[in-house]
Amino acid sequence: MAPSALPRLGVSVACWRGDRVLLVERGKDPLRGLWSLPGGSVEPGEPVRAAALRELQEETGISAEIGGIVEVLDVIRRDESGHPTVHFAIAVFAARHLAGEAVAADDAADARWCLPDEIDTLPTTDGLADIVDRSRGMLG
């Protein structure tokens, strides 16, 4: 991606069903094999909250209700000379499960409902356990 096209806007969703959060295993590079929150890119003209719910549905088959925004994270990767090659600003939302059973779809290799304690046993994206913990606090 050309530097002029950076940064891009992304979304992810910490979706809770009872005491479990929905995680997906990334099926595509650059994060292939890592567990994270479902999410993806915001399309031009698409409201950010709508993008979060769309990405959740596309990736896992789950419908949810957004409870609030947890954080805006920067994911930046640089080449050998220090120039950014990837830059996503990711709006992370907390949500409550409404309907659906988790299935891996779109670019997810796997999807599962996890207890927060299980996160440390998985290879994850940076800071996942902290984001999950903060998201749970937002939903009461």
Residues sharing a CB contact under 8 Å with residue 101, sequence separation 6 or more, in sequence order: 61, 62
**What are the structure tokens assigned to 53, written together?**
């719910």
Q: Is the pLDDT of residue 2 over 60?
A: no
Q: What is the domain extent for residue 34?
A: 3-139
- CATH number assigned to the domain comprising residue 9: 3.90.79.10
| Kind plus residue range of the DSSP H or E element containing 25 | strand 20-26
CB neighbours of residue 140 within 10 Å: 6
Cβ 21 vs Cβ 47: under 8 Å: no
CB neighbours of residue 43 within 10 Å: 12
Q: Is the pLDDT of residue 19 over 60?
A: yes
Span 30-50, pLDDT tens digits: 788 999 999 999 999 999 999
Q: Return the higher-pLDDT residue of 135 and 140.
A: 135
Span 58-114, pLDDT tens digits: 999 999 999 999 999 998 889 999 999 889 899 999 999 999 999 998 788 999 999
| Kind plus residue range of the DSSP H or E element containing 22 | strand 20-26
Q: Is the pLDDT of residue 3 over 60?
A: no
Residues sharing a CB contact under 8 Å with residue 50, sequence separation 6 or more, in sequence order: none
Residue 6's pLDDT band (cuts 50, 70, 90): confident
Name the β-bridge partners of 119. Answer: none
What total of structural domains would you count in the chain? 1
Residue 4's pLDDT band (cuts 50, 70, 90): low
CB neighbours of residue 36 within 10 Å: 19
Cβ 93 vs Cβ 52: under 8 Å: yes
**What are the structure tokens assigned to 24, written together?**
């997906």
